[in-house]
Structure 1
């Protein structure tokens, strides 16, 4: 509200200055016209006898009617020597008997003077010569103070009414708009307090007429829903991580206790120890994954850049992975580029991504009829490494969450051990090599993941 009234005051001040300037210019132009017209009439009256200029007082009084000021200008008829021959009202603006000839001979017809006699400042003098056949017989001079020329009594009144009307209208608009905005904003503030205390089930209006407030309400509702989802996911993930770490610890503890108490002996005791070592290794892998993920998220793990031929590199990685797997009925195939291209990547990090995708594909397919295919494609100077499988696919409601850290789908939660960091970590690695990891498609007939990496220009 203060800004509105400040703006109106500034507008009023600027308007007054502009009106004063415009009125001064207009009245000076009008004075010039009247002086010239009066000089022409006097010259016409003297044309025949070439006598010194003179005029009837009634004729001069008629010329004073042009002005709407409270005090009309003083009009003088002056001869060539500066003597005042006639005046509109004696003693109105000056007590002098003559005008300085130097002022009358100046080139300009509009002069700004100081009235030394009456102590005024900023007097305007308009002069026009009385000429008959090229001969100057005298001058018509009009004198008036600047404050009279700039006087805007009626204009000030209209301006005040306009500013007051605009102020009242602006206040009414702001008041009504504030009423419309106050309720939804107050509801958002109240909802924020609920979220602060852990209550994410907020109630906000579905539609608000003002677009900005509607966007605010809509964004806040989405934020509250996202926070509620993240809170539920956090609790679930904490329970999942705790379970994944607790299970091998419990298993190791029971196996070692059985060996210690000599519940098992001989070869069976050795088998128990072997199982304990395997469980310990699995636990170390999970802890290392967690530490490595946190380090990479904090940019603490470096990524190197080496140039490799795409076909040979991917074929070798898939071959190494196959050697470490036990899969009798699963078919694994590789489709290479027709023309090999050069990649600039970190081979170890790329292998981590590819192995993770292959492991996920192996868990998704049927052990007896499963098929996994790694396909290399080139598109717009990008290498696409597609990992395809014919597994059961990822449920639609889980597809937007698979790259969230610690997230584990319902299908893997109780079948596959892990912390749910494989895909998030793989995406970070791909982005670190200036590429990306995407879920291209997934359905009950299979899943396709894509690794996109930039190719070097040939």
Structure 2
């Protein structure tokens, strides 16, 4: 048998639940039989005591100082068979105080001598005794005294087989019917509940195979009442929808990256071919070579960015964190960026707290993040608008650096993808060259410094990116940025 062979969830749980149910019902049956037998025995012994007392009171009388049994005992016992609820086969003795047998209505002799009843039984304190008769039958003896003027004149003794006192054929049948019904109802309930539970899981498994084959055309049940099953189905739907979007995005981004790398190569090839074939000469040829060199440098930069991103994603580039006064660090970064991007119509505002704010960061990596965010803001306003940088203390132990612009903002359908590698917005892919690694690279750097980079808000006319960083509890001596 193959141990790795799998069985269906329905069969697995139904079989095990049913086996557990049967074991439970067997235990219940054993306990019930023991309890019913004990109850029947107690009940029938009490009825036997009652019969013995009735015989002592109604069928025995005192005449001339002697105990004399009356007729009718046999008929009385037969009338009372329905009370005990079983076929009576009693042995009845009416004996005097010396143990001499005065009457034996059923004419049975369980003892060797029926003339004298064993005194040991009569003199025992217990009214109910269990003994083994000479024929080996386990029996119960019930005795009741015959009282005359406060004196025990004799005894009524009833001997009844233990099997007859505990027999319960009808009870066995009822118990068997009840347990069989419970087993059938339990199995049916388990089967239908397991089937109801396994059906959506099976549907999800089938859908997963479709997704594996990149086929996203499938349907899954809606509005499941079970919370866990509903969450499973809903999460799988969200996952498959996300995978479908990412698959489409991947194809689009691959085409975009290919285009970005192919364009400078095509341009350089044409320009260099023109120079080589003497199509252009002199200063014009130099201009062609300068353009080719610029295109080569641009392609070199894109390849370097791609290599650096892959290295960082593989944790191959370490982060070196040192303690800095973040206010001064941001001022220096903004000053350098302003010098390199001094364009007419572009306004740069900064809002920094007067008190010193210290944090443990990698200054070079922080500058990469800030420059990327500032460049994105500049591209959003197309070089003519407002870019604002603010440093704020937030929750204890955290600061936020917010970069805001008044550009057109990010559309709702693009917000979920802006941190995806190689993604560029619909407008940006036509207006700006690049591989779409700036934001995902910046987010990765922020997380490596125990912080995060998020899109806080983006509407028409306002976009805010927030860089969250942990701060030092105790201010330390300021360190100048390198």
Flag whether TM exceeds 0.5 (same fold). yes
Q: Residues 9 and 293 (structure 1 numbering): CA distance in 2 closer, same or farther, change over 3 Å?
A: same
Q: Residues 252 and 158 (structure 1 numbering): CA distance in 2 closer, same or farther, change over 3 Å?
A: same
Question: Partner of 1:457 in structure 2?
Answer: 473
- Say how many residue pairs are matched: 450
Question: Partner of 1:445 in structure 2?
Answer: 461
Question: Partner of 2:336 in structure 1?
Answer: 320
- Unaligned regions of 5+ residues in structure 2, if any? 1-13, 475-482
CA distance in 1, matches of 2:19, 2:321: 62
1:280 shift after superposition: 3.2
Question: Partner of 2:33 in structure 1?
Answer: 20
- TM-score for the superposition, normalised by structure 1: 0.76
Counterpart of 2:319 (choices 303, 310, 322) is 303
1:192 shift after superposition: 6.0
Question: Partner of 1:233 in structure 2?
Answer: 249
Correspondence 1:68 to 2:81:
no
Q: Residues 139 and 91 (structure 1 numbering): CA distance in 2 closer, same or farther, change over 3 Å?
A: closer
Counterpart of 1:354 (choices 360, 370, 380) is 370
1:295 shift after superposition: 3.3
- Unaligned regions of 5+ residues in structure 1, if any? none
CA distance in 1, matches of 2:123, 2:287: 128
Q: Residues 90 and 265 (structure 1 numbering): CA distance in 2 closer, same or farther, change over 3 Å?
A: farther
Question: Partner of 1:412 in structure 2?
Answer: 428
1:241 shift after superposition: 1.0
Correspondence 1:152 to 2:201:
no
CA distance in 2, matches of 1:84, 1:325: 132
1:451 shift after superposition: 1.5
Q: Which 10-residue stretch deviates more, 375-384 or 98-107?
A: 98-107
1:91 shift after superposition: 5.2
Q: Residues 423 and 11 (structure 1 numbering): CA distance in 2 closer, same or farther, change over 3 Å?
A: same
Question: Partner of 2:395 in structure 1?
Answer: 380
Question: Partner of 2:349 in structure 1?
Answer: 333
The CA deviation string for residues 401-456 of structure 1, in whole angstroms up to 9 with x for no partner, is 21222211011101212211222222222233332221111112120011122333
Q: Residues 273 and 449 (structure 1 numbering): CA distance in 2 closer, same or farther, change over 3 Å?
A: same
Counterpart of 1:423 (choices 434, 439, 450) is 439
Question: Partner of 2:4 in structure 1?
Answer: none
1:84 shift after superposition: 8.1
1:334 shift after superposition: 1.9
1:316 shift after superposition: 2.8
Q: Which 10-residue stretch deviates more, 315-324 or 60-69?
A: 60-69
CA distance in 1, matches of 2:319, 2:99: 98
CA distance in 2, matches of 1:305, 1:100: 106
1:236 shift after superposition: 0.5
CA distance in 2, matches of 1:356, 1:408: 14
Kindly indicate whether the alpha-carbon contact (under 8 Å) linking 2:93 and 2:103 is maintained by their aligned counterparts in 1.
yes
Q: Residues 157 and 260 (structure 1 numbering): CA distance in 2 closer, same or farther, change over 3 Å?
A: same
Q: Residues 293 and 82 (structure 1 numbering): CA distance in 2 closer, same or farther, change over 3 Å?
A: farther
The CA deviation string for residues 170-202 of structure 1, in whole angstroms up to 9 with x for no partner, is 677678889989998887777666555544344
Kindly indicate whether the alpha-carbon contact (under 8 Å) linking 1:64 and 1:72 is maintained by their aligned counterparts in 2.
no
CA distance in 2, matches of 1:83, 1:250: 134
> Which secondary structure does the structure 2 equivalent of 1:410 belong to?
coil
Q: Residues 283 and 22 (structure 1 numbering): CA distance in 2 closer, same or farther, change over 3 Å?
A: same
Correspondence 1:284 to 2:297:
no
